[in-house]
């Protein structure tokens, strides 16, 4: 089987790259083994939220210009050009974003803390820095027995910002039914039921009955697993401004975005090998000649170009042993600090150096094996070294701009 491009990994970076290539007429195959980080997404898309001292960055493009040559953004080059493509690309994939291209905003986390972000899914409420009070009085409504939505933490977070918050319990029989087995009281199971218009109407009615002058209502972000109908009903019916807040993973809006991106890749004509893993690549003379997959066994798949978008430690794109950090599929050269004590800090909220480890590439995102450049292979997204996505808040931005830059390079030939 021969393709123009084989993409390994179907997370945000692989999907962005695959969609851009497929739209440009390249025949792409994407092999992806499992869940990706979008299952944990807050709904926020970070471009660069913090500088090297951990300070909030107001204008991400000003700060991006100051990054070292080893940072993926320096290799992307014209980050603004690719960043400006992101909102329309996401809108085409039916997951519109909002926010301001030139300045970062703030959003509330699942624990009621404020965190910076660049853009966000439509369901996420964004605040301008200095104006992050959602209202005077908030009603936080949670489903009875749903422990993954931390109403008490959220109330505490809001109170700290001057919003008085009250908590109410929603007893919706169709959802309470899930409690017959406590392990079923999870966001995705609730989401399947909460997406129904009649459930949204019941929720709106229950909330409206309890309102006593609250100007904002906060609900868990579980209503848009399949479409936005239930969210629209809630927005129209609830007699106060509505905010959806994240819960403990899995993230319903993140899963929805991932599914929409996967189907837009397929709609554009891309071939998807879902639930399969790339294994046993054959590399000769500085080029990948083919790869195998777990499910295809001895049948090799070939392409002119290959894109590695296999993610970081969570997705097993990278693995750590006591001495070293390895790239899992090709055994590519990696960057990491010598001495394991330099990999992490015991301060849980401190900067964890291991998050900056990953695949070493040249300025065109070509990796190497034993120092030899692999000319028809590119690495993109969180498998890359040179940036710390958590400390910087640059995860989605690096994933998507590196993907679009590499897609451009492949299209240009
Ligand atoms: C818990 C968590 C939450 C985050 N939340 C946010 C957020 O809210 N906002 C934000 O901006 N950034 C967030 N990030 C940063 C995130 O890393 C990036 O935003 C981005 O989603 C990473 O995408 P990716 O495609 O590089 O990797 P991943 O999403 O990890 O996708 C890699 C994919 O490759 C597949 N794969 C791996 N090996 C193989 C193989 N051999 N064969 C086939 N497939 C393979 C995996 O199964 C996976 O599907 C978060 C990171 C983490 C760890």
Which tens digits make up the pLDDT trace of 248-273?
A: 889 999 999 999 999 999 999 999 99
- Helix/strand/coil percent split, the chain, to 5: 35, 25, 40
For ligand 1, the distance from its centroid to the CA atom of residue 9, given in whole angstroms, is: 9
pLDDT score of 311: 98
- The position carrying tokens 């808040």 is 393
Question: pLDDT tens, 340-352?
Answer: 999 999 998 889 9
Query: 182 pLDDT exceeds 80?
Result: no
Per the prediction, the chain carries an average pLDDT of 95
CA-CA distance, 317 to 210, in Å (whole number)?
48
The domain locations on the chain are 2-103+255-412, 111-247
List, in sequence order, the alpha helices (H) in 70-228.
72-76, 79-92, 151-160, 173-176, 187-194, 197-210
| DSSP three-state, residue 63 | helix
Tell the CATH superfamily of the 2-103+255-412 domain. FAD/NAD(P)-binding domain (3.50.50.60)
For ligand 1, the distance from its centroid to the CA atom of residue 77, given in whole angstroms, is: 22
Q: What is the mean pLDDT of residues 275-279?
A: 96
- Exposure b/e, 359-388, CB count within 10 A at least 16 = b: bbbeeebbbbbeeeebebbbbbbbbbbbbb
Query: Two tokens at 165?
Result: 């918050």
Question: pLDDT tens, 113-147?
Answer: 999 999 999 889 999 998 889 999 999 999 999 99
Backbone angles phi and psi of 268, in degrees to 5: -75, -5
Percent of the chain, pLDDT > 90? 91
Backbone angles phi and psi of 111, in degrees to 5: -105, 15
Name residues contacting ligand 1 (CB within 6 A): 8-14, 31-34, 36-38, 40-42, 44-46, 277-278, 309-311, 314-317, 329, 381-382, 389, 395-396, 399
- The position carrying tokens 């679009």 is 404
For ligand 1, the distance from its centroid to the CA atom of residue 308, given in whole angstroms, is: 12
pLDDT score of 140: 97
Angle at 378 between CA 374 and CA 383, to 5 degrees: 115
Cis bond before residue 250 (omega within 30° of 0): yes
Q: What is the mean pLDDT of residues 67-77?
A: 97
Question: pLDDT tens, 311-361?
Answer: 999 999 999 999 999 999 999 999 999 999 999 999 988 899 999 999 999
pLDDT score of 198: 97
Q: What top-level class would CATH report for the domain 111-247?
A: alpha beta
Residues whose CB falls within 8 Å of the CB of residue 100, separated by 6 or more in sequence, listed in order: none
CA-CA distance, 273 to 290, in Å (whole number)?
16
Q: What is the mean pLDDT of residues 201-228?
A: 96
CA-CA distance, 266 to 400, in Å (whole number)?
18
For ligand 1, the distance from its centroid to the CA atom of residue 157, given in whole angstroms, is: 28
């Amino acid at each position: 089987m021969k393709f123009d491009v084989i993409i390994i990994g179907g997370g945000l970076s692989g999907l962005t790259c695959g969609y851009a290539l497929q739209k440009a007429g390249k025949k792409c195959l994407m092999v992806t083994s499992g869940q990706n980080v979008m299952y944990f997404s807050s709904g926020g898309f970070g471009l660069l939220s913090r500088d090297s001292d951990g300070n909030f960055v107001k204008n991400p493009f000003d700060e991006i210009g100051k990054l070292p040559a080893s940072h993926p953004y320096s290799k992307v080059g014209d980050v603004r050009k690719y960043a400006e493509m992101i909102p329309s690309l996401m809108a085409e994939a039916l997951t519109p974003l909002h926010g301001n291209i030139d300045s970062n905003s703030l959003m509330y986390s699942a624990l009621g803390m404020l965190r910076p972000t660049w853009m966000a899914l439509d369901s996420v409420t964004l605040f301008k820095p200095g104006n992050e009070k959602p209202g005077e009085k908030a009603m936080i409504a949670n489903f009875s027995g749903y422990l993954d939505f931390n109403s008490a933490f959220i109330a505490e977070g809001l109170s700290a910002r001057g919003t008085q918050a009250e908590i109410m319990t929603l007893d919706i029989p169709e959802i309470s039914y899930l409690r017959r087995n406590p392990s079923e009281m999870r966001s995705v199971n609730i989401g399947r039921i909460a997406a129904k218009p009649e459930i949204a109407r019941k929720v709106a009615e229950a909330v409206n009955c309890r309102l006593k002058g609250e100007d904002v209502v906060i609900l868990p972000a579980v209503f848009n697993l399949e479409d936005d109908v239930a969210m629209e009903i809630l927005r129209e019916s609830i007699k106060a401004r509505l905010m959806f807040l994240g819960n403990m993973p899995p993230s319903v809006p993140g899963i929805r975005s991932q599914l929409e991106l996967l189907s837009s890749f397929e709609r554009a004509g891309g071939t998807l090998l879902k639930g399969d893993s790339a294994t046993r690549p054959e590399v000769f003379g500085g080029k990948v000649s083919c790869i195998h997959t777990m499910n295809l066994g001895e049948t090799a798949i070939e392409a002119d170009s290959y894109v590695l978008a296999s993610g970081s430690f969570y997705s097993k794109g990278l693995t750590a042993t006591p001495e070293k950090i390895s790239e899992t599929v090709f055994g590519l050269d990696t960057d990491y600090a010598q001495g394991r004590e330099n990999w992490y800090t015991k301060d849980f909220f401190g900067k964890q150096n291991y998050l900056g480890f990953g695949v070493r590439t040249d300025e065109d995102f070509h990796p190497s094996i034993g120092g030899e450049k692999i000319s028809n292979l590119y690495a993109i997204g969180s498998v890359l070294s040179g940036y710390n996505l958590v400390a910087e808040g640059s995860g989605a931005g690096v994933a998507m701009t590196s993907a679009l830059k590499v897609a451009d390079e492949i299209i240009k030939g």
